[in-house]
């Protein structure tokens, strides 16, 4: 059996595990060879690998941001735990894990505890949808891009729930801002995505990426990429659109009342979303796991090459987000709305028009040709 996809690896591990167990306890071998059991266990292993990979990447992303932000501020960032502070975030996580989580007296228990958990879980769901390489998942979802965007926009709901139930005015204001902010960025994001759909002819992320093997969409759809990335910044609630957190006004925004592990949930989920958002930008506009043609084909056919390429691109995109964070001040709500409705929507409409034009004329001298619209 060729281990080409992650599912194959999980299946291999699961059946190997069951085989070992049935050799150790022979009477169970009849039960253990049941096909459904193998399938179920492989699904669990699949999920576990995915979870571990995404968590490790998320933590590395935090490290990356800390180091980069440090340089922007003429500092060095984390230095002393592990090589160049690589293990600092694990240490921080351990510290938060050991802390007491307590609930304010007047907070609503259910919402207070369910909010962060749901926020974390829905953020992690993203990685079930995003393909990170050709061999990542077996089944391809025909509408995976829409699914990804839907999962992405769950967050304000849970933020609002946890903010409201923590019974604190700062939390509540932060939660309301988070919910209100959606109005500004969701529409431009979807319009920008429409431009991608027009050119690629598909809602499936796998197809969108494979359509980009000849040329990446950031050329023809540069405007849409700017709009999408800006919208993603607002979606992730990162500076300059971190109105819901606005430390100067709202203490810590919607997670003011949270401490210990619950705070760690919020923190991690924020970066999970940052990672997913950067991956989404790469998948839609920067060619996903493909490399330009002038790279030797031998390089791209190496095992795991696709994942490495995608991750490098993702970290570069996230680096740009950090750069923006280091440079720009926070905007006001009205400014955010004005940016969303008066700048981003016209730009994305323009790029839809351009995409339609591009598809109609098929070829544009500098930008190249639309590949066959087979997908």
Partner 1 sequence: MVAEVEQKGRSKPENADGLILKPLYTAARQFAKSLIRPSTIIYPFERLEDPKFREEVAIESGRPIGVGQVWDNYRGVHALNVNTCISCNLCAFSCPDLCIDMVTVPGGDPKHPKKCPQIDYGKCSYCGFCSDACPEGCLSMTTRYELSTPKRAEMVYSPQKMFEIYQRKLPMNPIRLERPANEDSILLDVPLCIGCNACARDCPTECITMIDIPKANPKPGEKPAKRIWKEPVINDSDCVRCGTCISVCPKECLFWGTHT
Q: Footprint of partner 1 on this chain (CB under 8 A)? A: 68, 70-76, 79, 323-324, 326-329
The CB-of-335 to partner 1 minimum distance in angstroms stands at: 9
Q: Nearest distance from residue 360's CB to partner 1, in Å?
A: 31
Q: Smaller CB distance to partner 1: residue 74 or 106?
A: 74
3-state secondary structure the chain: CCCCCHHHHHHHHHHHHHHHHHHHCHHHHHHHCCHHHHHHHHHHHHHHHHHHHHHHHHHHHHHHHHHHHHHHCCCCCCCCCCHHHCCHHHHHHHHHHHCCCCCCCCCCHHHHHHHHHHHHHHHHHHHHHCCCCCCCCCCCCCCHHHHHHHHHCCHHHHHHHHHHHCCCHHHHHHHHHHHHHHHHHHHHHHHHHHHHHHHHCCCCHHHHHHHCCCCCCCCCCHHHHHHHHHHHHHHCCCCCCCCCCCHHHHCCHHHCCCCHHHHHHHHHHHHHHHHHHHHHHHHHHCCCCCCCCCCCHHHHCCCCHHHHHHHHHHHHHHHHHHHHHHHCCCCCHHHHHHHHHHHHHHHHHHHHHHHHHHHHHCEECCCEECCCCCC
Shortest Å, Cβ 351 to partner 1: 17
CB of 214 to partner 1, least distance (A): 31
CB of 68 to partner 1, least distance (A): 8
- Please, which residue, 39 or 323, has the CB nearer to partner 1? 323
Choose between 43 and 345: whose C-beta lies nearer to partner 1: 345
Q: Which is nearer to partner 1, 269 or 322 (CB)?
A: 322
Q: How far is the CB of 320 from partner 1 (least distance, A)?
A: 10
Instruction: Return the number of the residue (103 or 325) whose C-beta is nearest partner 1.
Output: 325
Nearer Cβ to partner 1, position 135 or 231?
Answer: 231
């Amino acid at each position: 059996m060729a281990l080409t996809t992650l599912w194959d690896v999980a299946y291999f591990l699961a059946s190997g595990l069951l085989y070992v167990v049935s050799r150790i306890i022979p009477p169970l071998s009849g039960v253990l060879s049941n096909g459904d059991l193998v399938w179920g266990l492989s699904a669990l292993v699949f999920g576990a690998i995915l979870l571990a990979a995404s968590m490790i990447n998320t933590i590395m992303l935090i490290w990356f941001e800390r180091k980069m932000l440090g340089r922007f501020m003429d500092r060095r960032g984390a230095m002393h735990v592990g090589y160049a502070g690589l293990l600092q975030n694990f240490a921080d996580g351990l510290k938060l894990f050991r802390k007491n989580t307590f609930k304010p007296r007047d907070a609503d228990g259910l919402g207070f505890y369910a909010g962060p958990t749901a926020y974390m879980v829905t953020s992690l769901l993203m990685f079930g949808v995003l393909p990170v390489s050709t061999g990542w998942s077996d089944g391809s979802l025909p509408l995976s891009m829409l699914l990804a965007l839907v999962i992405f926009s769950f967050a304000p709901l849970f933020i609002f729930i946890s903010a409201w139930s923590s019974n604190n005015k700062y939390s509540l204001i932060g939660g309301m801002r988070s919910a209100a902010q959606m109005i500004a960025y969701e529409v431009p994001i979807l319009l920008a995505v429409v431009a991608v759909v027009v050119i690629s002819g598909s809602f499936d992320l796998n197809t969108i990426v494979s359509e980009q093997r000849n040329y990446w969409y950031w050329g023809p759809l540069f405007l849409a990429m700017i709009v999408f990335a800006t919208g993603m910044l607002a979606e992730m609630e990162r500076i300059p659109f971190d109105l819901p957190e606005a430390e100067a006004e709202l203490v810590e925004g919607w997670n003011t009342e949270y401490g210990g592990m619950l705070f760690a949930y919020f923190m991690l989920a924020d970066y999970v979303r940052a990672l997913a958002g950067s991956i989404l930008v790469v998948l839609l506009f920067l060619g996903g796991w493909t490399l330009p043609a002038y790279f030797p084909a031998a390089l791209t056919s190496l095992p795991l090459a696709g994942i490495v390429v995608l991750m490098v691109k993702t970290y570069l995109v996230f680096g740009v987000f950090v750069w923006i964070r280091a440079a720009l001040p926070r905007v006001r709500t009205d400014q955010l709305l004005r940016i969303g409705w008066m700048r981003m929507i016209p730009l994305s409409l323009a790029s839809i028009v351009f995409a339609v034009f591009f598809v109609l004329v098929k070829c544009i001298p500098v930008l190249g040709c639309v590949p066959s619209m087979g997908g």
